[in-house]
Structure 1
Amino acid sequence: MKNIAVILSGCGVYDGTEIHEAVLTLLAIEQAGAKYRCFAPNINQHHVINHLSGEVMAAEQRNVLIESARIARGDVEDLSELIVAEFDALIVPGGFGAAKNLSDFAINADSYTVNKQVLSACQGFANASKPAGYMCIAPAMVPIIYGSNVQATIGHDVGVAQSLTAAGLAHQNCAVDDIVVETQHKLVSTPAYMLATSLTEAASGINKLVAKVIDLTN
């Protein structure tokens, strides 16, 4: 049975993992006959957003690992404990947490970085030639993880695509129900909620991504 590592970035689209993307990913992994383990960095979130009003809750501070446990029903591990050799592939759902907590792309798009622990884990899969899937805004990390001129997609948002192209990504426009496959690096990406307007639309691309990532493990 294939074993997939899933990296989460908190809980909630505006300051953590996009919950629908995460749940659809875990469901697709199970339905494909594979298993997963969830991980998250044990760090503070960039900030906390009131998901009802959209306002920053300046006085509140939350931990990415603890918040990720909400999605994983408590079954989430510190990212420092991820051992690449124990897994066949990696998948990173999106949500602003990927661009605020795993990286700082949302804050510093012109010269953004990826959290060192996240970078080490993701590069571990890349260096071992193990498949990986990145969805929504998570492909923003691809140029830093894989280097320049590697193909991935965030959909067809012109402004975001331009920023990522400037960072070295070979961005490919992509419909919500499709995927971009970088065969050389066994890298799969899909727009998910960068374009999706419903669970069904999000699932259409996420299911393809999960299926392709698992296929590339063979």
Structure 2
Amino acid sequence: MTAATTGVVTAELVREAAALPAATLHEAAGKIGALPAAIGPVRPGMRVAGPALPVLSPPGDNLWLHRAIYAAEPGDVLVVAFGDGADPLEYGHWGEVMAVAALHRGIAGLVTSGGVRDGDQMAERGFPVFAPSLCIRGTGKDPDGRGSVGAPVRIGGVTVRRGDLVVADGDGVVVLPVADAAGAVRAAARREAAEQEIFDRLAAGETSLDIYRLPAEGES
């Protein structure tokens, strides 16, 4: 199962990661891989986990995103970054038509640092999208636009490589390198079990100050 030995994020590992909060995975991995806080689900309840397919696109253009749909493997999560130019938040780079095409390809979801549109429709169709903005402004499709599919991209200080583990939920998005993914999932599962014990102790009357050995007001 381990990504470190297989060099890939396996379907079993994705299933295990999908059951864990993105925040717990981030913490368990050593507080790495958190994408900018502005990138969140376009509608409540969306969640996605899977191996990353990085995409680089010119802002205000979505031809490379169309290309990525047909370069992706089933279960992939498209992770889209943008090059220099116009503000990518001010364009709807992805919408319902592309979501339907992606669903037919078996793509698990989309994470992007640019704007999208058709949030309600994508939610109704069950296609999870994580983006920093919704924008109705249309995009171009420049055949000479500079971009890539599969090459590493960088979003908010996090480098995303093909096959990295992506987990996103209502709290945010975490991207974990292949070599760290299996260990982080195991550590996250342990953290969740330990947290349940804390809930039990709180229910029994202990305080969070006692459990975490924190000083009360006036103590040092």
Q: TM-score range by the shorter chain?
A: under 0.3
TM-score, normalising length from structure 1?
Answer: 0.26
Q: Which has the larger radius of gyration?
A: 2
Q: Which has the higher contact order (CA 8 A, sep 6+)?
A: 2
